[in-house]
């Protein structure tokens, strides 16, 4: 789906959440039991938007909503890929869930135009394995998911990572999760045609419960950062605005091009190498639009580092700021602030302002969600994901979650917007076999 189309319904409706249930539907569809069922989560990017393909810093966490695939290898058959989904627009199975028809993709026709858009993420992963020289035989795949589509929660990466883990297990390729991150990114970049970084796939494959993943997108070094929301009496609400976005329709590519142009004109390999002290110079040498894109990336990297400092303790993240200002925000000032997740709200809100004003990827619905949540007492709020629609997140005290939810829904009704889907998420485990 693309554009700013209102989406209907709840992503959890009509899903086979249990691995055994999905396996049973698979058997009824394909006439044989699957070899297994694998799950991979969507993600919320706590902070660090569009910094990944600029070789910067990000801080996502895996959420407790997943894409699930039941998969069977058909050894001895030609490499035909057969895929189906419970989230399609076709008929319904006996349990009343939506079910598409089976899509068949011959090995000599493994191209994006040969499959419907939802199946490209599956076919792309199979293609990427074969490009690496892995012998992937014929496969049957049945997909189900409760990660909202087009909501900025990486439903596509969840599909890719679930399929990649399944193929890795079943073929014995033993690539390792870090390599699977790169393989899934190649599938999205070179097969689907979206120039994303490694943020989404890293969160889905490397995430752990009750932690965010602090990722250096240049070195690909990652560490887990404790995010004890429940212990702190806090919750993160997702406000799915029902405004769909699609990264393959041009806007995302234009942002990437502006960042590449800015780095080239400033004489650096990537915008991660531009310290805040050069922003004055950047204003003088760059055109208006490119400067504002650059300023978002530079300041967003600083916000990620400061968020990690507040969660871990001052100075821990600064040592890894290769190419960014080594000391980052004033260490003494940070030391005077409260630690833990309750201290990061202002940084989330500042991130949204930067995405709205400098990167220009927000929309009226996202801005209203953020403003209404803050007005109802949220500690911080921002849009999350690639932009042009999707979701906002709000950091709230757990006892205020109901009040914030009610106020956001009221604000949307008053503005004449579609009713948003609002739900809490918790940092959950990464991709796994069920």
Question: Which is catalytic among the residues 200, 240, 273, 358?
Answer: 200
Closest CA to 197 of 272, 146, 97: 272
157 pLDDT higher than 90 = yes
In three-state secondary structure terms, 193 is coil
Three-state SS across the chain? CCCCCECCCCCCCCCCCCHHHHHHHHHHHHCCCCCEEEEEEEEEEEECCCCHHHCCEEEEEEEEEEEEEEEEEECCCCCCEEEEECCCCCCECCCCCECCCCEEECHHHCCHHHCCHHHHHHHHHHHHHHHCCCCCCEEEEEEEECCCCCCCCCHHHHHHHHHHHHHHHHHCCCCCHHHHHHHHHHHHHHHHCCCCCCHHHHHHHHCCCCEEEEEECCCCCEEEEECCCCCCCEEEEEEECCECCCHHHCHHHHHHHHHHHHHHHHCCCCHHHCCHHHHHHHHHHCCHHHHHHHHHHHHHHHHHHHHHHHHHCCCCCHHHCCCCCCCCCCHHHHHCCCCCHHHCHHHHHHHHHHHHHCCCCCCHHHHHHHHHHHHCCCCEEEEECCCCCCEEEEEEEHHHHHHHHHHHHHHHHHHCCCCCEEEEECCCCCCEEC
99 pLDDT higher than 60 = no
315 pLDDT higher than 90 = no
How much of the chain is helix, strand and coil, in % rounded to 5?
A: 45, 20, 35
Q: What's the confidence (pLDDT) of residue 88?
A: 61
Q: What is the mean pLDDT of residues 214-240?
A: 95
Q: What's the confidence (pLDDT) of residue 79?
A: 84
4 pLDDT higher than 50 = no
What letter does residue 315 receive in the DSSP assignment? T
Q: Is 287 a catalytic residue?
A: no
- Report the Cα–Cα distance between both ends of the chain, in Å, rounded: 29
Q: What is the mean pLDDT of residues 352-379?
A: 97
Gyration radius of the chain over CA positions: 21
**Burial (CB count <10 Å: 0-12, 13-18, 19+), residue 178:** middle
- pLDDT tens sequence across 164-188: 999 999 999 999 999 999 999 999 9
**Is the CB of residue 191 less than 8 Å from the CB of residue 112?**
yes
Q: What is the mean pLDDT of residues 41-56?
A: 96
Q: Poorest-confidence range of 7-21, 56-70, 82-96, 226-240?
A: 7-21
- pLDDT tens sequence across 253-296: 899 999 999 999 999 999 999 999 999 999 999 999 999 999 99
- pLDDT tens sequence across 62-95: 999 999 999 999 987 788 999 999 986 433 343 4
385: pLDDT confidence band, cut at 50, 70 and 90?
confident
């Amino acid at each position: 789906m693309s554009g700013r189309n209102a989406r209907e319904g709840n992503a959890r409706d009509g899903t086979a959440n249990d691995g055994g249930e999905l396996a049973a539907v698979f058997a009824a569809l394909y006439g044989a039991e699957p070899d297994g069922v694998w799950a991979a989560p969507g993600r919320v990017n706590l902070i660090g938007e569009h910094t990944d393909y600029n070789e910067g810093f990000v801080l996502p966490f895996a959420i407790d909503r997943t894409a699930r695939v039941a998969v069977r290898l058909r050894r001895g058959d030609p490499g035909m890929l057969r895929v189906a989904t419970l989230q399609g627009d076709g008929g319904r199975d006996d349990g009343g869930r939506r079910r598409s028809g089976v899509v068949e993709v011959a090995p000599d026709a493994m191209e994006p135009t040969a499959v419907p858009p939802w199946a490209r993420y599956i076919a792309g992963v199979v293609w990427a394995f074969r490009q690496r020289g892995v012998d992937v035989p014929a496969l049957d795949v049945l997909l189900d998911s409760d990660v909202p589509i087009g909501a900025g929660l990486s439903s596509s990466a969840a599909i890719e990572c679930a399929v990649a883990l399944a193929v890795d297990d079943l073929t014995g390729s033993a690539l390792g999760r870090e390599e699977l991150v790169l393989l899934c990114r190649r599938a999205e970049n070179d097969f689907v045609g979206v120039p994303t970084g490694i943020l989404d796939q890293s969160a889905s494959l490397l995430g752990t419960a009750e932690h965010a993943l602090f990722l250096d997108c240049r070195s690909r070094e990652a560490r887990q950062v404790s995010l004890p929301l429940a212990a702190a009496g806090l919750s993160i609400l997702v406000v799915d605005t029902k405004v769909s976005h699609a990264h393959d329709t041009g806007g995302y590519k234009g942002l990437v091009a502006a960042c590449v142009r800015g780095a080239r004109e400033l004489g650096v390999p990537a915008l991660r190498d531009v310290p805040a002290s050069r922003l004055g110079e950047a204003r003088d040498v760059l055109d208006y639009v490119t400067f504002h894109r650059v300023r978002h990336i530079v300041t967003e990297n600083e916000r990620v580092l400061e968020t990690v400092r507040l969660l871990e303790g001052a100075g821990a993240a600064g040592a890894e700021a290769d190419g960014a200002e080594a000391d980052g925000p004033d260490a003494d000032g940070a030391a005077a602030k409260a630690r833990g997740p309750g201290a990061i709200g202002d940084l989330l809100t500042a991130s949204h302002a930067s995405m709205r004003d400098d990167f220009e990827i927000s929309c009226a619905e996202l801005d209203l969600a953020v403003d209404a949540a803050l007005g109802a007492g949220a500690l911080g709020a921002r849009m999350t994901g690639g932009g042009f629609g999707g979701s906002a997140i709000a950091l709230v005290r757990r006892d205020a979650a109901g009040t914030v939810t009610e106020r956001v829904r009221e604000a949307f009704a008053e503005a004449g917007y579609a009713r948003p889907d609002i739900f809490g998420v918790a940092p959950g485990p990464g991709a796994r076999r069920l």
